[in-house]
Amino acid sequence: MAACRAQASASEQAWLEAAQTFIQATLSPAGKEPNKQLTQSVIDCVKETWLSQRENQDFTLPLNYSFVSVQNLQTHQRMPCCSHLSRSGHAHQAWSQGAGPGGSLLPREPLLLLGTLINLSEDLEQECRSGSLYVRDNTGSVGCELTDLDLSWLGHLFLFPSWSYLPPAKKNSLGEGHLELWGTPVPVFPLAGRPDPLTPIPVLYPEKASCLLRYRKRHKVKEPNLAGKLVRLSALVITQNKRYFVLTLGELSHAEGQAGSQVSVIVQIPAQMVWHRVLRPGRAYILTKLRVTKTRGRRYSIWTTIPSSDLVPLRPDYVQELELDIRFLEADLIPLPQPTNSKDSGRQEGLFRNSKVLHYLGTVTDVLNESASLYILDGELILCLAYQHIRGLRRVIRPGVRLELRDVHLLQSVGGGTTRPVLALCLHGTVLLQSFSPLKPESLPPFKVRGASLYEQLVWECQLGLPLYLWATKALEELACKLCPYVLRYHQFLRHSSPGNPSLALQLLAPSWDVLIPRGTPVRHAYSELLEEPHHCPHQKYTQVQTPCSFPTLLDLAEEGQRRAWAAFDPKALLPLSEAAHLTSCQLNRHLAWSWLCLPSCVFQPAQVLLGVLVASSHKGCLQLRDLRASLPCMPLTENSQPLTDPKLIGCLVRVEKFRLVVEREVRSSFPSWKELDAAGFIQKKQARVYVQFLLPDALILPVPRPTFDSESPQTDPSCPEEPRVGQSRLFLLSHKEALMKRNFCVLPGARLRPPKPTLSFYVSGTWLCGTQRKEGSGWGPPESLGVENKDQKVSLIFLGSSVRWFPFLYPNQVYRLVAPGPSTPMLFETEGSSGPSQRPLELAGTQSCLTVQEEWTLELGSSQDIPNVPEISKALPESSLTHLLSDNISNSLVSFSAEILSRILCEPPLALRRIKPENAGAVKTGVKLTVALEMDDCDYPPHLDIYIEEPHLPPQIGLLPGARVHFSQLEKKISRSNIVYCCFRPSTSVQVLSFPPETQARAPLPHIYLAELFQGGRGPFQATASCHVVFVLSLQILWVCAHCTSLAPQGRCSRQDHNCPAQTAISQASIRLLVEDGTAEATVTCRNHLVAAALGLSPSDWTSVLECARRPGRVALQFTGPGAPTESPSKAHEPLALFLRTLCGSPSVLRPIKLSFALERRPSDVTPLEPARLQQFQCGELSLRTKVNPRPRLLCLSLQEPELPAAPS
């Protein structure tokens, strides 16, 4: 026992020596001798506080505790911690349990903290006091927060028995670390109380103080004292050059919530800002030496403090009400009108809703956005403190903090993507800190702790109401997740606007809320919000806001487009039953193999805003919008059908509200027939290609600032060109661009021995406009002079590797500048020697030089005006004549034209590829067939032409959709064995999309003509309508064939001899040929499948019965040679079905007037020589006449309708 006491005595002695050393170095005045009284008082204070715990009776001193200075706390304490000297183990456990589940408690450290409590930092002047509190010792000062404050504590030395310290977060821009002082600090020396006044203090109560404001000229009272109970405390208002707050005193006799006389006092003295921490609603105070002042925007005066004013707790025994000289009239004592509480108003005015004003006490359970001052209270309510200045309080609020909200507005159903009720404080209310949180601060994403000044700008400068502010906060989080930290640093994106330097975040959001903020919205005025009666603030009346828009990631947008595209994929909708029922399995699956869906931006709810950085892909050779999660191909166009040609837009941020999301669907299926279209099991593979189309005038294009130094390492994008400081360049005029495809390049001598692989590349040909120019400052110097032999020199540029990224910017008849950064190199843009391709093909092509564009070279849009003596360059696209296009002359097989795409399908592979072995069938890729309508100035009715795209040009570039206008350059013209002109893609082919498909697919009605117009000179319409009469039926045929191999299928069974056909389904096919005339000419019309029923005048049920009767023989065919001539029928004439059809074809139900929509059987691209006119004899009575008769035109029926009967005369 004695040894234990001796050991304890030695420990105490060591602790006391350490305490003395600390006190002298940290707390004693600098430069003075040791103060023994100070040392003993500090030790006694610590011992008394330590022994106040009943568990600490064994040791008189906290031997396991050590003293800590402010400097050591700030320098060495990197993690949040807490210290509780006066709290027992059981009390600390109860305190920890009050934090609730799921939180991480502050670690407890055995540290003793002493310091002087002050309200002025060492580096500030007296006039700069802001109401902030600090703990100071000889080593420095640190900011602190208290739950309660007495003015008598300021300037005195305290021991803080319970406190927590939170160092600054690593990625937090809110400032330095701070202390949270729990409970009441223990003074080292006894505090001198305020002496009792010798005489009662003369005071005015709110009733008479209000009257004195109105009649101050009649009542001369100099600097009166005001007394009353604090009924309202406003927020601390912070402006650029001052701080102030307003307190409202009420009568002592009125309970809280009851009406009575009230008087407001504005406090503007910097040294009195600390009063805001002292005042507590419900307590009574005296404010001494007040004066009357007028404030801006205020119609009458208000009481204000002066530098000598004081704040004193009211003790009724030491005050005396001041008597005024003149007796007040009874009317004078009527109190001023008080603010109307919106909670008493249940009437709604139009679309506006009234908020409720209440008091609330709750615990913060989550932080929604620290910078935006948004929190969750009690797991149910959203707390918005953004409409007050809470810069100091923001660092304290975290889960576990308990707050009292006075005069807070309750708003329900505010919209803007928020479903919870919202508690929002205006300047009229205040938030009181009831207790600190025992939890460690959560690690929040950077976008939730940065940008506090930007959110303040949304409230105070942009004047956003609460519903719109909540949406803007959510939108900024979406944008930060899309762009930060690799496109922009968080501090760059979330910075506030300044004159001449607008905020990028605000520029992205402003177009959305400009349409929602009504013009004439009153500007928020702090004085009016604090003092006007009745009260007006942004929260008093509000409207529910539907979410204006959202900023989805490009990956989410693409996935949503694919989801909608496959949800809308219905084979029966793509192929009408009347058409699908007569298609073979091969035809059916080929028609379903490719389809597309265009989703305009208006179909998304809420509206989706397309946002991304414009980049040029060197892997695909197309433009893309990119964010952090994905890249999405895009196709921008100008209003005048011009593509994007300026490479300076690379790296810019593009914001588009009006766009089209295009989804191209490709399906590999094996449907046996139309009957199985509902069975999804016949679809073997599905894939989609998603991209966006938009017009540049609909886009907001913003330059992205270069990343600045921050804690994150900068990321550079090679697709973002940077202006070179030194370098050389040369202007050239582009005349033609070839296709982007994989090409073979020979292995050069001396290269590493690697097997050559096809490389994605393209060629352009053009003309040098001048010599090399060198960089001079921010511009380019004069060009080098060229010899006569080098004037108008042709050049061929090869783009491969990463230089493929320039492909979407290069178009014919444009001037470009090829820029090579770095020191000047002679002959850099001249003809390559052995490193280039052979010169012989270039000479044959009329090109004098060939140059491979290096990866580090960049491209700029130039102008012919940069070079003198260069005529204006025509922007017209090359066009082949219609005569050359639709002729059998193939001497010049490369053609160019503009056309509208009518249809696009996947075509069958060539015959040689179809004879491939079954095990390699998956390697066969089908081609693409485009049917286009040529655009010719001298042609009223555009002819149609087929264009085939095969490997290596697959997949086709984006934008080749039905309805789009496209310019095709240097297609190869071919003539088929059936004398049909068609075109094919070749390596020299280039494509330029001129316009997007129209939003509505409604086409102009077909022209109504007479049949004789088909014989007139020039080119008539390929499709038209005519009113004519059926003269007689030439032939009729009904077949049942195998859906797989098209063999005849009597009784619905395939008739192949080898029995190897896997199909078990038969389909019907029917055709009828009619002779029609309209009084001007005759024509033969072929109707197929379901149109045969319309030609025969049969109802759908009757036609189905006819087809079923024809199933048993599998084929029914009738031939008619002319009116009155016998029928030639391969079918048995005595069969009932043949007899019925022969009789029907000669009846008036068939030979009748009709309205015919048709297409010429002979296509405009058919170059077969026309059949000459033949001599035909006619008998007119006894007179025999012979004349030349043109051959009857052959027509294909598109639709057949009954003619409209003329209206009966009235």
Model pLDDT for residues 249-268, shown as the tens digit of each residue: 998 876 655 557 889 999 99
- Across the range 881-887, mean pLDDT stands at 83
* Rounded CA separation 300/303 (Å): 11
Assign 567 a pLDDT band (cuts: 50, 70, 90).
very high
Question: What's the rounded Cα separation, in Å, for the pair 808 and 806?
Answer: 6
Q: Which two tokens stand for residue 1069?
A: 């096919």
Summarize the confidence of residues 939-946 as an average pLDDT. 83
Report cis status (omega within 30 of 0) of the bond before 955. Answer: yes
Per-residue pLDDT reduced to its tens digit, 209-231: 888 887 766 666 788 999 999 99
**Would you state the pLDDT for residue 335?**
47
Query: Does the structure show a pLDDT above 60 at 845?
Result: no
pLDDT average, residue stretch 352-363:
91
* Structural Rg of the chain based on CA atoms: 45
In this predicted model, what pLDDT tens digit does every residue of 25-59 receive, in sequence order? Answer: 899 887 677 788 899 999 999 998 888 876 655 67
- Identify the pLDDT of residue 54: 61
1033-1048 pLDDT per residue, tens:
999 999 999 888 888 8
Q: Evaluate if residue 174 carries a pLDDT over 90.
A: no
DSSP one-letter code for 81: E
Question: Any idea what DSSP says for residue 74?
Answer: H
Closest CA to 491 of 172, 716, 170: 172
Question: How many C-alpha atoms does 647 have within 13 Å on its Cβ side?
Answer: 29
User: Which of 137, 154, 172, 116 shows the shortest CA–CA distance to 27?
Assistant: 137
pLDDT for the residue numbered 196: 75
Distance, CA of 63 to CA of 50 (rounded, Å): 10
CA distance 467 to 382: 12
For the chain, helix, strand, coil in percent to 5 are 20, 30, 45
| CA 1100 vs CA 56, 776, 1039, 1103: distances in Å | 102, 81, 18, 5
Tokens linked to 635:
């196709």
Mean pLDDT of 1043-1061: 79
pLDDT at position 530 is: 85
Q: Where are the beta strands (DSSP E) in 834-893?
A: 849-852, 858-861
pTM of the model: 0.83
Mean pLDDT, rounded, for 362-382? 93
CB atoms within 10 A of CB 882: 18
Q: What is the pLDDT of residue 445?
A: 85
Angle of helix 466-483 versus helix 452-460 axis, rounded to 10: 150
Average pLDDT for residues 807-816, to the nearest whole number? 91
Q: Is pLDDT at 1084 greater than 60 in this prediction?
A: yes
| Higher-confidence position of 915 and 130 | 130
Position 164 scores a pLDDT of: 94
Per-residue confidence (pLDDT) for residue 1127, from 0 to 100: 52
Tell me the C-alpha distance between 53 and 91, whole Å.
10
Query: Partners of 133 in the beta sheet?
Result: 144
Residue 351 has a pLDDT of 67
pLDDT at 1023 over 90: no
pLDDT, residue 212, reads 84
- DSSP 8-state secondary structure symbol assigned to residue 833: -
The DSSP H or E segment spanning 523 is: none
Question: For the residues 703-725, what does the mean pLDDT come to?
Answer: 54
Confidence of residue 545 (pLDDT cuts 50, 70, 90): confident
For the residues 393-413, what does the mean pLDDT come to? Answer: 91
Per-residue confidence (pLDDT) for residue 552, from 0 to 100: 92
Whole-number pLDDT of residue 229: 93
- Confidence (pLDDT) at 9: 81
Name the one residue in this structure whose structure tokens are 């804690």: 711
Q: What is the pLDDT of residue 654?
A: 94
A 10 A CB-CB count for 127 gives: 8
* pLDDT tier at 1000, thresholds 50, 70, 90: confident
Residue with tokens 């390699």: 920
**pLDDT per position as a tens digit, 470-515:** 999 999 998 988 888 887 888 888 888 888 788 888 888 888 877 7
| Cβ–Cβ < 8 Å for 77, 113 | no
Contact 863, 815 (CB under 8 A): yes
> Hey, what are 224's tokens?
């009166």
Structure-block tokens of residue 340: 């109307």
Band (pLDDT 50/70/90 cuts) for residue 834 is very low
The C-alpha atoms of residue 82 and residue 179 are separated, in whole angstroms, by 9
| Consecutive H or E run containing 970 | strand 965-975
The residue that leads in pLDDT, 117 or 1058, is 117
Q: What is the mean pLDDT of the chain?
A: 83
Segment 576-596 shows an average pLDDT of 89
